[in-house]
Amino acid sequence: MGNNAALWSTNKYIRPFAIMLGFLVLFGFTFIPLHAITKDGVYILASAFPIIAGWLLGLRLGLLFWLLHSALLMILAQTVGSSFHEFLSTGIFSFTVTMVITCGVGRISDLTKNMHREIKERKSIEIELKRYKETLEEEVVKRSKELIRSNELLRQEILLNEKNTEEKLNLQASLKRAEKMEAIGILAGSVAHDLNNILSGIMSYPELILLDIPDNSPLRKPLLTIQKSGQRAAAVVQDLLTLVRNGNINFEVTNLNTIISDFLLSPEFKKIENDYPGTTIQTNLQPDLLRMYGSSVHLTKAIMNLILNSMEAMVKGGELVISTTNVNLSQPAGNYEIIEEGKYVAINISDTGYGISKINLDRIFEPFYTKKIMGRSGTGLGLAIVWGTVKDHGGYIDVQSQEGKGTVFTLYFQATTQEVLNKPSNQEFSDYCGFGESILIIDDEKLQREICTSILNKLGYTVKSVSSGEAAIEYLMNNTFDLLIIDMIMVGGIDGFETYKRIIETHPHQRTIIVSGFSESGLVKNTQALGAGPYIKKPYSIEKLGVAVKNELGGNRNTVRNQIT
């Protein structure tokens, strides 16, 4: 049943013909009875059937129905004996009306169908547009969020690239600066080694002669002048050795506040103050400043050079501020170089001088690079010494300067919570004299052997000297000594390390002191690792050598290593 209904409702051919057939059958069965009752009524009905069929079926099917209806009407009219005139008038009337109605209704039907179709299409389009609009709005919101997120990621990436580029440039500049300083340091170290050997005679012989002449001797003043000149020259050589940066300084727990306070009370600072009377100095030292590992001597020299540099920058007077503070960095920082995160003690030295241009700022720590008058303002090594000292202490430097307004130097050193140890007091001459103990000097330079022999004889020791490591090894085959003094660098033969290494094969407990005109190096450390005692840098004073020998013979090596630097 359902299938028949569906077929009926959907088949566009069966339905119209079924209507036509129904009308024809209905007309055929009703014509004769109605004709008997009312002749005029039957022809009116005959005219009405095509009109109704035309209105229901449309123009084409209406005409088809009219033809079929007319044929049926003619047959029926002849059957009942109607005239041809009646048949013809009924056919013409029904044809005319059918044409008018079917054309008009068809047109209206077409228009109506088109209108309904257009309305349906418009509604469909409106629904589709509404759906597209909603989808478009959602897509716009989605794309906007994606665009905002992409822009943010792009901004972060640009910032990260800029930061990475800046860090890369800073690292490249730091590496270039470090390589340049290392090359200069190696050259300076080689020169310093030779100069130290030369200065040994200038410093040591006046000291030996002064021990033998009376206080009122006219030679005392010239000898003191020679000795002082030698000490000043040795200080310059020490500055050169600072540039070598072997990192082999003897460190101890110290406090920057103490170092600064002691320097501000020193004769060196008083002289600086007198040379620059128009400058005022202020200090702001943090009371609870943390301690650090360092060499007080080297740190004092670095602070002195920074203060002197600031004083010279304030040609018309100004204000110098020295301050210390504890610094805790949770992430890398710094302008001049990258300062890693950690706990630091920092010293700031700021001035109101003429400042440093950006072009010169990258070169201020190079040795002998200066805009001042050489010879009048020092050796040109001041800031280079600061750099070397800070790097030897594992620290960092930050510099901020503006031309015409001044400069701020900030030094950062790793902090420690350990306490400062008390230093031993100075000893008298008799405290480090010997009692005839035997000492063998091993040095390739005749002058050095003679100087060391003279000092040790003066101190009461029995001394023998040889000119090479090979000679020492051979001599020790049949002789023993209480102490050896070995030069680390010997030309034309084995060095001090190899000499000591071979000697302890036959004399495993031999006490030894290491001397050299060069900065303490890995070679010295390796020799000490084998069992050798303290290292003494040439040129040395009578007291320095005497204390080292006395303590090494007495077994107090820790005291010696703290005192000999």
In this prediction, residue 456 carries a pLDDT of: 93
Question: In this predicted model, what pLDDT tens digit does every residue of 297-311 receive, in sequence order?
Answer: 889 889 998 998 889
In this prediction, residue 240 carries a pLDDT of: 65
DSSP for 254-270, please give it.
E-HHHHHHHHHTSHHHH
Peptide bond into 508 cis (omega under 30): no
Q: Within 13 Å, how many C-alpha atoms sit on residue 263's CB side?
A: 23
Which has the closest alpha carbon to 209: 436, 537, 429, 454? Answer: 454
Taking the domain 250-416, which CATH number applies? 3.30.565.10
Fold of 429-563: Rossmann fold (3.40.50)
Which has the closest alpha carbon to 245: 407, 385, 105, 117? Answer: 385
Question: In this predicted model, what pLDDT tens digit does every residue of 319-372 receive, in sequence order?
Answer: 999 999 999 988 888 777 888 889 999 999 999 988 888 878 877 877 666 665
Give the three-state DSSP class for 541.
Answer: coil
How far, in Å, CA of 15 to CA of 9, rounded? 8
In this prediction, residue 111 carries a pLDDT of: 67
In this prediction, residue 561 carries a pLDDT of: 43
How far, in Å, CA of 367 to CA of 344, rounded? 27
In this prediction, residue 484 carries a pLDDT of: 96
Structure tokens at 540: 């040395």
In this prediction, residue 164 carries a pLDDT of: 74
In this prediction, residue 520 carries a pLDDT of: 60
Residues of the chain short of pLDDT 50, as ranges, are 1-3, 5-10, 247, 374-376, 557-565
Residue 408 · residue 350 · CB < 8 Å: yes
How far, in Å, CA of 422 to CA of 416, rounded? 17
Residue 386 · residue 392 · CB < 8 Å: no
In this prediction, residue 293 carries a pLDDT of: 87
- Residue 374 CB coordination number (10 Å): 10
How far, in Å, CA of 401 to CA of 403, rounded? 7
